[in-house]
Structure 1
Amino acid sequence: MKLSLPSMSDLSDSNPILPIVIVPLDGGRQQEQLRQEQKDTLADLRHWQIEEFLRQTGKAENTQRSYRQQLKKFACWCNKSWLDVTASDLGKYRTQLKQQGLKPTTINHALDTLRSFYQWLRRSNGYPVNQPLPTDAIGKERVEEPQALDIDKDDMAEIWHFLDDRQRPTGIRDRAIVAILSHGLRASELSALDVKHWNGKRLLVHRSKGQNVSEVPLSREARQHLEAYLEWRRSVGGIFTPTSDRPMFLCQDPKHCGERLGYNGLYKMVKKLAATATIEELKPHHFRHSFGNTITRAGVDPLYGKELMGIKTDKVYRRYTQGSLKLAAAQAYLRAIGEDEGNNEQPEEN
């Protein structure tokens, strides 16, 4: 039997011969490694720009922490360079934040952080001048007007009734803390106080926002509470001795005894105070709001009020005094129509 072999033309028509490509065994791995290195370089550059933004703008420590968190959160969500981010990207990010159920104020804070960052990027020649910023087209969420956060007379009376319990081991310290919080200091500012910042009449307060320093005079009652606490520390001695370089307020629990009372410790102290005094919600910042309303009702010039509270803008100051302003507006109207007789409401004492 005679066998016939297929011709080359038959092979090419029916069974085409594919070209042989030699691929290095580690070629795919090298390409993947290159792509990963490019991603890492992009991430490093974006994070470096975040840190440079915080360094150059000189924000307060708490503000820096918040800004860093917001910017890194967006950088993880959007894997683009800052120059490649579009208004559409920001719109999608905003939608996702809303879908997460975040409050409008929280969403606005995230967008304001990005807006501040991009404005800095342009000022530092990191963004083309002839191109609109991606944040220019993004508006804010509508936010309800915040309610007044000052502490009413009855709640303040309950607080001091609890503080007058002489059996509490931290009673002397806590009375001094509440007395000073009631002079408009932020919790972080109170925590940062050292003994040397007290001259017997005024506190030298290093403001946590704006990097300025204010002299805050204390009332006679507050001076007495603070001096009583310092005298107690002298009597105890040791790590509690109030030398000038020591923190003003110290922890007294066994684990952190003698250490500076930080914000968390101060926050817990106030929350415990609220629970004991049966106050629904009480935070250190509420004392600051109460101080703003107190000095407004007492007729203190807003210029002086802002200095006492370490506030720079009228807009921010109004947030702390809106309760008094609304009350004053209502009283002005009643006087105008002759129905203000018998209103003997007096300014609250600090």
Structure 2
Amino acid sequence: MTTTRHSLADGIGRYLRHVTIERGLSANTVQAYRRDLDVYATFLAERTVTDATDVTSAHVAEFATWLRTRPERPLSASSTARMLSSVRNLHRFLLDEGMTATDAATDARPPKLGMRLPKAISIEQMESVLRATEGDDIRSLRDHALLELLYATGARISEIVSLNVDDLVDDDVVRLTGKGNKQRIVPVGSFAREALGAYLVRARPTLSATGRSTPALFLGMRGDRLSRQNAWLIIRSAAERADLGVTISPHTFRHSFATHLLAGGADVRVVQELLGHSSVATTQIYTLVTADTLRDMYTTAHPRAR
């Protein structure tokens, strides 16, 4: 049994140092944990609970209910699940470190989340977006190469903007660095190769001359590495010019890449490798998107389907 008492604030501070130093989590992830646990600590303090050893499973259960029902701004099921995950990780750490005798969050279960299918656009819509960036000026050459490469590889936007010129391993292959610095090789189709070639020859040298020397593949108009925010703005602008009538994001390109490959008959394990998913189960959600397509094809083709 624990004899030494520890304040919850001290426990949270030690936990955040642990995930920063020992687990090496990113600054953004640690900041998200900090925000979640600040809300949790404030909730407990309002109930005069400030010591880690005084937190009970009833407090954690009350916190979970409060998140979904609080009058000022109830949280969605997904946000509640995320915050409870932070709380559960904290209490597991407190127990492992001997700061508490029990895990108060061991019985806390996140709300069930409805399955959200990835949002993809049709091949025709994707072609419209890509055409919207065509042009001979420097900005258009860059934007067109960026969007063509996004669609050709299914890469995350962070992977694309972090590319260096040397990551174009061959004429038809690019080396992407994903989560956990895990690298993968992804082929590049003819349309993206042509767009990249035009950008590298006719646009990038001019952009590079306006700023400091950088190995980055995609450059901003001042010659520095293109940011994720600017890449997002490029996509939004292209969608507006294409008059899609729907909002798209960088991840729309990734979802569409996977959906269109599977609809075209690609094996799910191949798509898994291309996307850089560690588990095929993550990729299989895209097969649900193509179920309607398969059903329509069956209805059209089978003589006794109608």
- Same-fold call, TM > 0.5? yes
What percent of counterpart residues are identical?
Answer: 22
Cα distance change on mapping 1:58 and 1:310 into 2, 3 Å: farther
User: Aligned partners of 1:332, 1:55: CA distance in 2, in Å?
Assistant: 54
Cα distance change on mapping 1:314 and 1:158 into 2, 3 Å: same
Instruction: Give the structure 2 partner of residue 345 of structure 1.
Output: none
Cα distance change on mapping 1:83 and 1:222 into 2, 3 Å: farther
Q: Residues 53-132 of structure 1: matches in 2 within 5 Å?
A: 53-59=19-25, 63-79=29-45, 80-98=50-68, 99=70, 100-119=73-92, 124-126=96-98, 131=102
User: Aligned partners of 2:156, 2:117: CA distance in 1, in Å?
Assistant: 19
**One-letter code of the match for 2:147?**
V
User: Aligned partners of 1:64, 1:220: CA distance in 2, in Å?
Assistant: 41
1:233 and 1:240 in contact (8 A); partners too = no
Cα deviations by residue, 1:268-311 (Å, 9 ceiling, x for unpaired): 22222222222321100010001111221233322222111111
Instruction: Give the structure 2 partner of residue 137 of structure 1.
Output: 107
TM-score, normalising length: structure 2: 0.81
Cα distance change on mapping 1:220 and 1:186 into 2, 3 Å: same
Could you list the runs of 5+ residues in structure 2 that have no partner in the other structure? none
Whether 1:270 aligns to 2:235 is yes
Cα drift, residue 62 of structure 1: 5.0
Instruction: Give the structure 1 partner of residue 140 of structure 2.
Output: 171
Cα drift, residue 149 of structure 1: 0.5
Could you list the runs of 5+ residues in structure 1 that have no partner in the other structure? 1-37, 341-350
Cα deviations by residue, 1:54-98 (Å, 9 ceiling, x for unpaired): 443344665444334333443344343555433222223223322
1:46 and 1:82 in contact (8 A); partners too = no
**One-letter code of the match for 1:261?**
L
Whether 1:310 aligns to 2:280 is no
User: Aligned partners of 1:127, 1:329: CA distance in 2, in Å?
Assistant: 56
Cα distance change on mapping 1:213 and 1:54 into 2, 3 Å: same
TM-score, normalising length: structure 1: 0.72
Cα drift, residue 165 of structure 1: 3.8
**One-letter code of the match for 1:193?**
L
Cα drift, residue 212 of structure 1: 1.1
Instruction: Give the structure 2 partner of residue 43 of structure 1.
Output: 9
Whether 1:184 aligns to 2:154 is yes
Cα deviations by residue, 1:205-254 (Å, 9 ceiling, x for unpaired): 110x243111111111111211221112235552469x7x51111111xx
User: Aligned partners of 1:185, 1:304: CA distance in 2, in Å?
Assistant: 14
Cα distance change on mapping 1:261 and 1:71 into 2, 3 Å: farther
Cα distance change on mapping 1:331 and 1:292 into 2, 3 Å: same
Whether 1:322 aligns to 2:293 is no
